[in-house]
Structure 1
Amino acid sequence: MSLPDCDPILAVDFGTSNTALAVLGADGLHRIPVEDTHDTLPTAVFFPTEGGGMQIGRQASAALIEGEDGRYMRALKSILGDPLFHESRLLGGRRQTLADVVTAFLVEIKARAEVATGLRFARVQSGRPVRFHSEDPTRDAQAEVDLRACYHAAGFEGVDFLCEPEAAAHACHQLGRDSHTGLIIDIGGGTSDFTVFRSQGGAVEIMASHGIRLGGTDFDQKISMSHVMGLFGHGGQLRRTFGDELLPMPNALFHDLSTWAKIPFLYTRETERKVADLLAHAVEPAKVSRLKEVITNRLGHEVAFAVEDGKIAANAATPHAGIDLGFVARGLAAPITPGSMNAALTGFDTALTQAIYATLMQAQVAPGQIDTAILVGGSSLMRFVSDVVGATCPTAKIERSEAFTAVVDGLAIASAA
């Protein structure tokens, strides 16, 4: 690597699901291996119950999978802007906030970048979604304030933000012709972002950007609710303590259990009492017994990983794809097919279509004027996403960028501006 002359800027794509780092050297872009030889690491943390320090990335996931006692957390980015971000809780043997956790994560990746490059990074160019919270401008603004404060607390003196699809446009504009109009579709773990850009003479003009709070974790949540939660009692009935009338099973607990960011907060005495009460009154106690197993043994993230694996298998049209839940009860599994998955995701295609049209309208560009539609982000690999893009911009050539690194590449390139 040919190092920058001075004042290097660390490009950070702090994603809901994955994080990546890069720097622009004198000889061009360099991704920074952030975990062994990997260009990305899962945005996940693990706090061992017995102490020993926070683990991050694949090490955190391995601790969870290997059954180490502790608290696993993922999708931290989705809590930015929420009052929950600043609430103190017991983690790793001491009370701390999620803001403290994100800061510690950023401290660690900054240190790894400095060891890998031999540079000291005082400035950061960070990606951000166009909208952290598409329906709440106040929370959206607070989310950037929260993330900026975490970067400063992690030791960065200068903090700049660039919308993620705009960063991707800088990295991907050469996928089209020398002169063309492109559309970035960036479907991440927590948000979907869109940018219309014009590439001409090697330069990129950003014409419009738009974003909605919809991403891969939402896909997982819907699939979990439709395919898995029924095995734990969702949709069932409860007997009254007195009388013969039956009551519907409440939804809130199952909704939280199927939501990545909310799973860690279910492991409380209060939740255990609720589940015990449900079990005592359930018409189908065998199913609720499985729910008790999940809560008591803190298997919520294992369930979420199983759903994610099932989603990927169904998207690839793997024969006999299923969601393996054998760790809850021997032989337990939920079948999943491309058809059943698409049925679960009904409505998301409409939301994506509307968001694309909104972006085109802001740019004053007709669908037929888009020469290249470029898919970015891990969740863009879902087939229904490319189907939506093809139907919305039928004359555009659909290209796939490097799904997990296009944003960080563009952040590093844009840092030279």
Structure 2
Amino acid sequence: MATLGIDFGTSNTAAGWMQRGAPVVIPLEGQNATLPTAIFLEFGSKRTLYGQAAARAMMDGEDGRFMRALKSVLGTPLARERRQFMAEKLTLIEVIARFLSEIKARAEAATGQTFDAAISGRPVRFHSVDAARDAQALVDLTQAYEMAGFGSVSFLPEPEAAALSVKGEGRILIVDIGGGTSDFTICEKSGLDTRVIASEGIRLGGTDFDKQISLSHIMPLLGLNAQIGNEFGEGSHSAPRGLYNDLASWEKITFVYGDKTVREVRRWERLARDPKVFGRLADVLEMHLGHDVAYAVEAGKITANGASEAMIDLGVVEKGLGVSLPNGDLMAQLFPAAQDIALCAEATLKAADMTPDDIDRVVFVGGSSLLGVIQQRIGLMFPNAAMETSEVFTAVVDGLAIAAGARVGA
């Protein structure tokens, strides 16, 4: 029975297996090592598209439902709500199962193997402040794997998987900042042996960083904090913040659309002191542009991280519309999140009964670990440790492949 290692991520997914004693990442989309964790249910042809094809269909304005960051709904009531998708009602667990089934099929086609079992990465904690939701998330994900056709599935915390693939010796802190969570493992490596000493995690990651930037820089252009005049009499009130929070959250965008919401926003537009901003919001909702805006924010974040300034281009909403995102603003905006992440790193040290001076190396994995504000804050905590950026996008899946191989003797 062949076992497939799957790093099912909030933003990207990868798969790997052991071949001739070495971990091999299986290309899932062309020669790409990772596949965007994105799904598009195309209404006209009733096809389901995955990865970059799903994102292209959304950006091309195809008629359908686009979903991304579905890992974030695991453990929440939203995961088990039945919703109308095309001609059937599905839960989001079933949608995730279809995505995992596609990963299985692509991996089998690429390798000629049949993968009856999976070893999946998981955050140290799906929900760091709600133990019940954290436990339910694992139940939900297990069910999704079973529905995807895997006879058995086991789980390994993602930073512990990355620890297996990191080369070298000594005491190492793995800093794994992904799309939805930040996870830490302290391990000791000696030769081929890896001993996990402590692991901790927090529900905070790249999609949360995108949300912060969107709420501070983009949503005011769509009416956040703008005043709506009372329908009768004098006075005014702010637009309800809940809609903007959902529109700025990757996993909730697809559920804000609807004729009732558009009609309500058009009413705000009529009553507003600045009708233009609510007109933009109504256009975004009417034309289903929420994910286009989110992608623009994500691109601006990435650019600003490596440059003095970036422009978040919102031309898809209104010709010539955009907002500047200086690197200094990015650093300041994300500093509170970096502080929370540093506190979790401290908790990992405490669980290991260690001090920063006990750590020889800090290894960053996960796409969001590349953010300068994160690396600087962690670097201040470990002034005597070597800072390394490992295989950022594949360290976890490499480790899962190693673990899978060890279980079947590959």
Give TM-score, length-normalised by structure 2. 0.97
**Cα gap change, 1:318/1:339 in structure 2, threshold over 3 Å: closer, same or farther?**
closer
Which of 382, 385, 410 is 2:374 aligned to?
385
Choose from 114, 129, 135 the match for 2:129.
Answer: 135
Asked whether the equivalents of residues 200 and 347 of structure 2 are also in contact (C-alpha less than 8 Å), the reply is: yes
- What are the ranges of 5 or more consecutive residues in structure 2 without an aligned counterpart? none
Name 2:299's counterpart in structure 1: 309
- Looking at structure 2, the residues matched to 402 and 25 of structure 1 have their Cα atoms a distance apart, in angstroms, of 19
Q: Alpha-carbon deviation of 1:394? A: 1.1
**3-state SS of the aligned residue for 2:142?**
helix
Identity of aligned residues (%): 48
Of residues 38, 41, 45 in structure 1, which corresponds to 2:35? Answer: 41
SS at match of 2:335: coil
Report whether the alignment pairs 1:66 with 2:60: yes
CA distance in 2 between partners of 1:86 and 1:322 (Å): 38
Deviation at 1:27, TM superposition (A): 3.4
| Pair 1:244-2:234 in alignment | yes
Matched, 1:349 2:338: yes
- For 1:50 and 1:279, the matched residues in 2 are separated by 32
> Which of 89, 103, 111 is equivalent to 1:95?
89
Distance 1:292 1:312 in 2: 28
Asked if 1:402 is matched to 2:391, the reply is yes
Note the alpha carbon deviations across 1:149-205, whole angstroms, 9 max, x for none: 111111111111000000000011x1x4x3x10000000000000000011132110
Contact 2:228 2:273 survives alignment (8 Å): yes
Shift of 1:207: 0.3
How far apart are 1:274 and its partner, in Å? 2.3
The one-letter code of the counterpart of 1:114 is: E
Distance (whole Å) between structure 1 residues aligned to residue 278 and residue 154 of structure 2:
48
Alpha-carbon deviation of 1:365?
Answer: 1.1
The answer to whether the 8 A contact 1:51-1:92 is kept is no
CA distance in 2, matches of 1:59, 1:326: 22
Amino acid at match of 1:208: A
Residues 212-251 of structure 1: CA deviation (Å, up to 9, x unaligned): 0000000000000011111111111111112222212221
Task: State the SS of the aligned residue for 1:67.
Answer: coil
| One-letter identity of the residue aligned with 1:189 | G
Say if 2:199 is the partner of 1:170: no
The residue aligned with 1:260 is: 250
Q: For 2:98 and 2:174, how far apart are their aligned partners in 1?
A: 32
Of 257, 270, 278, 1:280 maps to 270
Equivalent pairs counted in the alignment come to: 406
1:318 shift after superposition:
5.0
Is the 1:189–1:216 Cα contact (8 Å) retained in structure 2?
yes
Measured after TM superposition, the shift of residue 49 of structure 1 is 1.9
Partner of 2:45: 51
The question of whether the paired residues in 2 share the 8 Å contact of 1:33 and 1:40 is answered with: yes
TM-score (norm 1): 0.95
Distance 2:278 2:82 in 1: 31
> Equivalent residue for 2:350?
361
**Superposition RMSD on alpha carbons, in Å?**
1.1
SS at 1:402 equivalent: coil
Measured in 1, the distance between the counterparts of 2:398 and 2:105 equals 20
For residues 11-60 of structure 1, give each alpha carbon's deviation from its aligned partner in whole angstroms, at most 9, with x where no partner exists: 00000000000001233211111111111100000011213321000110
Spell out the pairing of 1:165-244 with structure 2 (5 A cutoff): 165-172=159-166, 174=167, 176=168, 178=169, 180-244=170-234
Contact 1:53 1:92 in 2 (8 A): no
Q: Which residue of structure 2 aligns with residue 21 of structure 1?
A: 15
Q: What residue number does 1:293 align with?
A: 283
> Is the partner of 1:170 in helix, strand or coil?
helix
Cα distance in structure 2, aligned partners of 1:201 and 1:267: 54
What SS does the corresponding residue of 1:292 show, helix, strand or coil?
A: helix
CA distance in 2, matches of 1:28, 1:239: 65
The residue type paired with residue 181 of structure 2 is T
* Contact in 1 for aligned 2:335/2:373 (Cα 8 Å): no
For residues 154 and 335 of structure 2, what CA distance do their matches in structure 1 show?
37
Deviations along 1:301-350, one digit per CA (max 9) or x if unpaired, are 0000000011011101155x210001111100011011111222231121
Name structure 1 gaps, 5 residues minimum.
1-6
| 2:11–2:179 contact (8 Å) kept in structure 1 | yes
Deviation at 1:125, TM superposition (A): 0.5
Deviation string 1:77-121 (CA, Å, 9 cap, x unpaired) is 000111111111111332211111111111111011111111111
Worse-matched range after superposition: 201-210 or 277-286: 277-286
Matched AA of 2:389: R
Tell me the distance in 2 between the aligned counterparts of 1:133 and 1:49. 33
SS of the aligned residue for 1:274 comes to helix
**Structure-2 separation of matches of 1:208 and 1:27:** 27
Answer yes or no: is the 8 Å Cα contact 2:308–2:327 preserved in 1. Answer: no
Distance in 1, Cα, partners of 2:98 & 2:114: 17
Q: Could you say which residue in structure 1 is the equivalent of 2:323?
A: 334
